[in-house]
Structure 1
Amino acid sequence: MKHESIEINSALLIILTLVVISIGGLVEIVPLFHIKGTVEKVDGVHPYTPLEQLGRDVYVREGCYLCHSQMIRPFRDEQLRYGHYSLAAESQYDHPFQWGSKRTGPDLARVGGKYSNEWMTQHLIHPQSLVPESIMPSYPWLMQPLKYQDIEARMKALRDVGVPYSLTKAEYEANVKKFGKDLADQFVIADGLKSVKAEAAAENWDGNPKEITEMDALVAYLQVLGTMVDFSKYNQGYFSTFR
């Protein structure tokens, strides 16, 4: 009877519903104000280089996230198939992150280094030539020239949301201390164009060294996924508590 009296009184029902929602919200939110951070301290994680970032933009533009997640869940079957479960630290420079919950194709969080550049290029141009049962569409237009003239503007925008690309000498020196000089040099916004050209020339990503293509950028991005953290160093301690 008491329950019925609440249900037929719309004003009382709304008030009690708001109270319950408020309590649930406080239980979830308040603890966050009493911890230093929700991102683990993990060695090796760094922002994407300019070429990798351009490749990530192509990945998002083509909607790759609609069929491929980048989030390995902490379950034994997922770790056996894909590797160590995903860490928050690995996505701290992603805007937006590519976790996803839909897997028409395999998770790509650890795809970097598993296949050669040639394999990845051919797979993107004609997936069925390598995996006959694949239902993935072909992306031959990725061999078109990459538009990278606005990379410095993109880096500035990412800097505004927290990615530590450097615009000042102090920021550069901080990056040298945190990531090492080789990476810090690639994070200098004023040298963004030069960094793209140098990284594209350093490795034959798409099999065509004569020009920088969207395929160069996308393969560079895919090849870095999951390679920043050396998980062999974390078999004990913090990470073992989650197994």
Structure 2
Amino acid sequence: MPTFHRRLERNAIGFVLAIIGVSAIGGLVEIAPLFTIHETVEKAPDMRVYTPLEIAGRHIYMREGCYACHSQMIRTLRDEVERYGPYSLAVESQYDHPMLWGSKRTGPDIARLGGKYSDAWHVAHLINPRDVVPESVMPRYGWLQRNRLRVDDLDRHLAAQRSLGVPYTDEMVANAAADAAAQASPDSPGAAGVAERYGEATNVRAFDGDPARLTEMDALVAYLQVLGRLTDAAHQQAASAEE
């Protein structure tokens, strides 16, 4: 083998051809599945898009580096399914740009975190994780409750997502800032519009407990509370498999 490798390196043309051959194999493995992706990705007629507030929360989640310790992909292994719930489906991430699957788990996977804990639990956990999970090594994020959420650029965020294939309507883009504020203020005049545009299943409430102020805490908790709940496809598939 060393002799063969030495000869290959001395033969420039042969070495280039070998590189092209190996690259072609790797490219085939990576690219070929894309031609059948429409046959392999599950269907989810009930799939909904993130609201502007949830999009803002997702951006805060990425900004603070939460993905470095929490994955959002439950594998098909039995112990993962028993701990976290039905394994993740490709269709559940079709509107995630970028995807946040991850492989590092300093903390637990949060792909199905939505609805598992109350808003108050999440707020307390983010202000000081040790108050609710004594053994936690997670940093504090108390400033999120003090920081007002920026909403003036949310229409551009939705427009950018639409350019990537997320089916936001012109009405959703135009009302992005107002919908973000209304989702965290259930008694406001615009709350009904949020449910009308994004569906009755949309969480509309004061996520940080204070409907008078729209904060980054509101946005992040809104995002955490919708994880795994944009579609019920995974639970339906799991139920069908058990029958």
TM-score range, shorter chain: 0.7 to 0.9
The aligned counterpart of 1:47 is 49
| Partner-residue secondary structure (3-state), 1:224 | coil
Q: Which residue of 1 aligns with 2:6?
A: 7
Alpha carbons of 1:81 and 1:17: their partners in 2 closer, same or farther (altered >3 Å)?
same
Letter in 2 for 1:137: P
Match in the other structure for 2:18: 16
Matched residue, 2:59: 57
TM-score by length of 1: 0.82
Q: Which amino acid aligns with 2:158?
A: M
TM-aligned CA deviation for residue 17 of structure 1: 3.9
Q: 1:31 deviation in Å?
A: 4.7
Aligned to 1:196: 180
Q: Aligned equivalents of 2:239 and 2:115: distance in 1? A: 24
Taking structure 1 as reference, are residues 7 and 37 closer, same or farther at Cα in structure 2, changes over 3 Å only?
farther
Corresponding residue SS for 2:207:
coil
Give the equivalent residue in structure 1 for 2:127. 125
Point out where structure 1 has 5 or more consecutive residues left out of the alignment.
168-186
Residue type matched to 2:135 in 1?
E
Alpha-carbon deviation of 1:194?
A: 1.9
C-alpha displacement of 1:204 = 1.9
CA RMSD of aligned residues (A): 2.1
Give the whole-Å Cα distance in 1 for the aligned partners of 2:167 and 2:132: 38
Counterparts of 2:73 and 2:41 in 1: how far apart (Å)?
15
Assess if the C-alpha contact under 8 Å between 1:7 and 1:13 holds in 2: no
Q: Structure 2, unaligned stretches of length 5 or more?
A: 187-204
The 1:15–1:220 alpha-carbon spacing in structure 2 relative to 1, beyond 3 Å, is same
Instruction: Output the CA distance in 2 between the equivalents of 1:236 and 1:83.
Output: 12
Change (3 A) 1:31 1:55: closer
1:96 and 1:35 mapped to 2: Cα distance?
Answer: 18
Letter paired with 1:192: A
Distance 1:152 1:27, change over 3 A: closer
Q: Residue 37 of structure 1: CA displacement?
A: 4.5
* TM-score (ref. length: structure 2): 0.82
Percent identical pairs in the alignment equals 52
* Residue 145 of structure 1 pairs with residue 144 of structure 2: no
Change (3 A) 1:89 1:98: same
